[in-house]
Amino acid sequence: MDFKTFWAMAAALALAPACLAPAGLADERAGAAAGSSARPGFAIVRPNPDPYPSTYKPLASSPFVIRNATVYDGAGAAYANADVAVADGKIVAVGAHLPAPAGAVEIDAKGRFVTPGIIDVHSHLGVYASPGVNAHDDGNEATAPARPDAWAEHSVWPQDPGFERALAGGVTVMQILPGSANLFGGRSVVLKNLPARTVQGMKFPGAPYGMKMACGENPKRVYGEKGGPSTRMGNMAGYRQQWIKAEEYQRRWDEYWRKAEAYEKQLSEAGARPRRGAKPAEPPTPPDRDLKLDTLADVLRGEILVQMHCYRADEMALILDLAREFGYRVTAFHHAVESYKIADLLKADGVCSAMWADWWGFKLEAWDTVRENIPMVHQAGACAIVHSDSAIGIQRLNQEAAKALADGRKAGIDISDAEAWIWLSLNPAKALGLDAVTGSLLPGKNADIVIWSGNPFSVYTHADQVFLDGARIYDRFDPAYQPMSDFELATDAPAKGGRP
């Protein structure tokens, strides 16, 4: 059954007594709704949590072993002259003189470096696609400050040439976010960087959704003359009003499900031991669905991760209290240029900071950047992430980490190269709820790997090869592994005169 049919029926059910529902469809409906029905004619209404499911399939791969590389495992460890063994799309082992998995191809990486693929937790690829014309302005549903009902995946254009550029920079996984015009910008989507015809083909199977929220200047600038919020206190009032509604919505649904389950049980018992003359109880009526509150309630349930655009330290501290007030968690502050001022608070609350190495000055809330923000947050024991927020920046996040690392060292913050790679893979994976499956070279994790031409913290280094789930998806020396979007077919270099 497709999702349209499903929702049409769910809506009908919400309005009609169960006994009027078309009995012939009941089993199918119950199955699709992931509920159970004791007998035809009644099914508990449960919003489908995954109506646009991933169709991602890894490329075919064979086992391989990378030999003689310098390996940063993404979790903080470095290995010299080490091997990385991969089979069935997963990491088998990292270490010296590894036995090759059966049938493995050997890749000599002497003089080269191996790391987990880079994960960018803050990208607008696809929603602000290149070329940046009005027609591609799909990142901000700036028509009302609370639009948690907007889903970034419904804006992603998979032919954005930026995806291929990011791949050449070693990026294997990205979170695509709505923009920051709104207090509640909408749902994010986590993509694997294997090109596909559809966004579903890029969706990371099983990745939790994120929800974009924004602090500070952007919402008040966008709505200041459109009914508000026009101030930071208006921003806070706007969040709180929505959370109050979400709490009530969650309560109504929880109550419905409790009653519906009790009713289902009653039906099932009645079916087993029918009593003559017993009048069946009225089935409970599900609450009206609200697409905005669906998302917010799932945040309150802990199923959707809050990704919050916030620059200033004092605002972040208010947001942490806001989250406590309504019993949810902020997973990561994005941009977070003042995290260094409150790294202790961020550590205490277990919140990640996704940061630039040095971008600043374009607006007042970005005025207090320091070059050592990332290493200072890391040193305080809080979760530090290098992010891009840029179709240009995403192509060299390794250089951004290098700058931050060097500036930190110059200021006396001693962090090893291998430890710094945590900012590019394991910590971002954590902020996406995916650290159990990717983000480091731990055996059993997805074989998302980059082989670098040299030290990845050098400006002169390139990603030579990129692997996703154990399959080679990019090769700097082999055009057969250099994907190109439809948009660039007629505009690519060869068509315009060729490479010299």
CB of 106 to another protein, least distance (A): 28
Question: How far are the Cα atoms of 249, 256, 292 from residue 295, in angstroms, in the given order?
Answer: 11, 18, 6
User: Nearer Cβ to another protein, position 137 or 290?
Assistant: 137
CB of 345 to another protein, least distance (A): 9
User: Nearer Cβ to another protein, position 161 or 284?
Assistant: 161
CB of 455 to another protein, least distance (A): 9
User: Nearer Cβ to another protein, position 397 or 468?
Assistant: 397
User: Nearer Cβ to another protein, position 28 or 137?
Assistant: 137
User: Nearer Cβ to another protein, position 326 or 487?
Assistant: 487
CB of 245 to another protein, least distance (A): 32
CB of 330 to another protein, least distance (A): 20
> Apex CA 345: angle with CA 342 and CA 351, to 5°?
105
Question: Hey, what are 353's tokens?
Answer: 């900071």
DSSP secondary structure letter of residue 368:
S
Residues 6+ apart with CB under 8 A from 34: 46, 48
User: Nearer Cβ to another protein, position 120 or 407?
Assistant: 407
Could you list the beta-strand ranges (E) of 73-164. 78-87, 90-95, 105-108, 113-116, 118-123
Question: Hey, what are 455's tokens?
Answer: 């030290």
Asked if 352 and 385 touch (Cβ cutoff 8 Å), the reply is yes
CB of 222 to another protein, least distance (A): 12
Number of helices (H), then strands (E), belonging to the chain: the values are: 12, 17
User: Nearer Cβ to another protein, position 324 or 363?
Assistant: 363
Interface positions with another protein (CB under 8 A)? 130-133, 161-162, 165, 217, 340-344, 358-364, 367-372, 376, 380, 391-392, 395-396, 399, 402-403, 405-407, 410-411, 457-462, 487-488, 491, 493, 496-497, 500
User: How many Å apart are CA 384 and CA 58, to the nearest integer?
Assistant: 29
Q: What phi and psi, each to the nearest 5 degrees, are found at residue 66?
A: -90, 130
Question: How far are the Cα atoms of 362, 374, 446 from residue 403, in angstroms, in the given order?
Answer: 20, 10, 28
Residues 6+ apart with CB under 8 A from 53: 200, 203
User: How many Å apart are CA 255 and CA 248, to the nearest integer?
Assistant: 10
Residues 6+ apart with CB under 8 A from 346: 316, 333, 339, 352, 353, 377, 380, 382, 383
| Whether residue 63 has a cis bond before it, omega within 30° of 0 | no
CB of 189 to another protein, least distance (A): 21
Q: What phi and psi, each to the nearest 5 degrees, are found at residue 187?
A: -80, 145
User: Nearer Cβ to another protein, position 115 or 130?
Assistant: 130
